[in-house]
Amino acid sequence: MEGFARAVGATRHLYVANCLGIALESVKAAFSEFGPVLDACAADSSKARVIVSFEREADAAAARDAWNRQCCGALGERALVIEFAVPRERIKLVEVPVSTSAQELGIPGLSLLTEFISSREEERLLQEVDARPWQALAKRRVQHYGYEFLYNARNVDTSKFLGEFPDFLQPLLEKISSIAELQETSEATFPFDQLTVNEYPRGVGLSPHIDTHSAFQGSIISLSLAGPCVMEFRKYASEGVSPEFERKALFLPQRSLLILSGESRYGWHHYIPHHKFDLVSGQSVPRESRRVSYTFRKVRHGPCRCNFRQYCDSQ
């Protein structure tokens, strides 16, 4: 929600997900069943999420009570996910201290391994992707291996397998599979079958999000190449996303490997601020001309049964 955030408690604005392919006029007309609707606008560039703004808060609450996680007959039996929303201009954030150690943050399941690969290994991984075609998004470029991530749906199409990982990844996969934190889980056999390579130009970050529960299972592994950045973690109230949330930040050095498992993967949003400089331990750290991340995931082939139902689209 570029102009809005999810809210705890009723407001006159609703965040409505799963609207891909439905005209804004149709959304507005459908929700007018509950009372005067002032506007229906895209929540972000995905065209799958809409902000519906009512004249009265009570009408918004009635619409949410009736249609949240229900099939909406007025919109072709589309199953909607609806939360209250609040304009972002009412949210005032202050800088959060940046840690250089994942342990200091105290987020269960979060690990950071610095200097995970050598400079020579980094150079080869960059050369390999630069020799392959990139897909251009609005502010960054991506490549997909194994399965393509569908940004509009925030999921993958498991019927469209792109093929096995290329051979150049094997040394990295073997190195990751030997990580002690993963040896203690069922992921020791290295089941990762989806890789997204992101290239971020200087100053470009990533909006707060949790990787879709129904799309991926288990730990998410991300390797930082070509430059560092700060990643922020946000834990919202159990009732939804609001102007009030817990924030922690971690510096990700070049060639470091980030592991998100358990609570850190399923219960915390992660976010890369859109900065050209990051303040770390009192020092201004410039972003490089680009940062490239290799993010490995395991595609899920059944519903998620995690303990974080408030963030789980399967539950």
Tell me the CATH number at 166: 2.60.120.1520
Where are the strands (E) in 33-154, listed by range?
37-42, 49-54, 71-72, 78-79, 81-87, 98-99, 110-113, 135-136, 141-145, 147-150
User: Exposure of 104 by Cβ count < 10 A (0-12 exposed, 13-18 middle, 19+ buried)?
Assistant: exposed
In the predicted model, is pLDDT for residue 202 greater than 90?
A: yes
Q: Are 84 and 64 in contact (CB under 8 A)?
A: yes
Beta-carbon count within 10 A of 290 CB: 16
pLDDT of residue 88: 63
Do 58 and 113 belong to one domain? Answer: no
Is 282 part of a structural domain of the chain? yes
In the predicted model, is pLDDT for residue 208 greater than 90?
A: no
pLDDT confidence bin for 184, thresholds 50/70/90? low
Do 192 and 228 belong to one domain? Answer: yes
Task: Write the pLDDT tens digit of every residue in 16-32.
Answer: 988 888 999 999 999 99
pLDDT confidence bin for 179, thresholds 50/70/90? confident
In the predicted model, is pLDDT for residue 8 greater than 80?
A: no
pLDDT of residue 238: 53
Q: Per the structure, how many domains does the chain have?
A: 2
The overall average pLDDT reported for the chain is 88
Q: Where are the alpha helices (DSSP H) in the chain?
A: 24-31, 57-67, 102-105, 119-130, 170-177, 180-183, 262-266
Do 191 and 65 belong to one domain? Answer: no
Q: Which helix (H) or strand (E) holds 198?
A: strand 194-201
User: Exposure of 266 by Cβ count < 10 A (0-12 exposed, 13-18 middle, 19+ buried)?
Assistant: buried
d(CA 223, CA 129): 14
CA distances from 78 to 21, 81, 280, 291, 310 (A): 11, 10, 46, 38, 21
pLDDT of residue 91: 46
Q: Which residue has the higher pLDDT, 74 or 294?
A: 294
Q: Are 115 and 255 in contact (CB under 8 A)?
A: yes
d(CA 167, CA 180): 24
pLDDT of residue 90: 47
Task: Write the pLDDT tens digit of every residue in 52-72.
Answer: 999 999 999 999 999 998 888
Residue with tokens 């040896």: 183
Do 141 and 250 belong to one domain? Answer: yes
Average pLDDT over residues 252-281: 93
In the predicted model, is pLDDT for residue 191 greater than 50?
A: yes
% of the chain residues with pLDDT over 90: 63
* Measured distance between the N- and C-terminal CA atoms of the chain, rounded to whole angstroms: 22
Selection from 83, 79, 82, 61 nearest residue 71 by Cα: 79
Is 92 part of a structural domain of the chain? no
Do 210 and 231 belong to one domain? Answer: yes
Q: Are 216 and 306 in contact (CB under 8 A)?
A: no
d(CA 165, CA 163): 7
Counting Cα atoms < 13 Å in the Cβ hemisphere of 232 gives 23
Do 66 and 195 belong to one domain? Answer: no
Range of the structural domain that residue 294 is part of: 98-311
Do 76 and 102 belong to one domain? Answer: no
Task: Write the pLDDT tens digit of every residue in 106-159.
Answer: 999 999 999 999 999 999 999 999 999 999 998 999 999 999 999 877 889 999
Last residue of a domain, one of 68, 87, 106: 87
% of the chain residues with pLDDT over 70: 90
In the predicted model, is pLDDT for residue 310 greater than 60?
A: yes
Which pTM value belongs to this model? 0.72
User: Exposure of 36 by Cβ count < 10 A (0-12 exposed, 13-18 middle, 19+ buried)?
Assistant: exposed
Show the tokens assigned to 294.
């290799």
pLDDT of residue 33: 94
Q: Which residue has the higher pLDDT, 103 or 8?
A: 103
Show the tokens assigned to 147.
């399965």
In the predicted model, is pLDDT for residue 182 greater than 90?
A: no
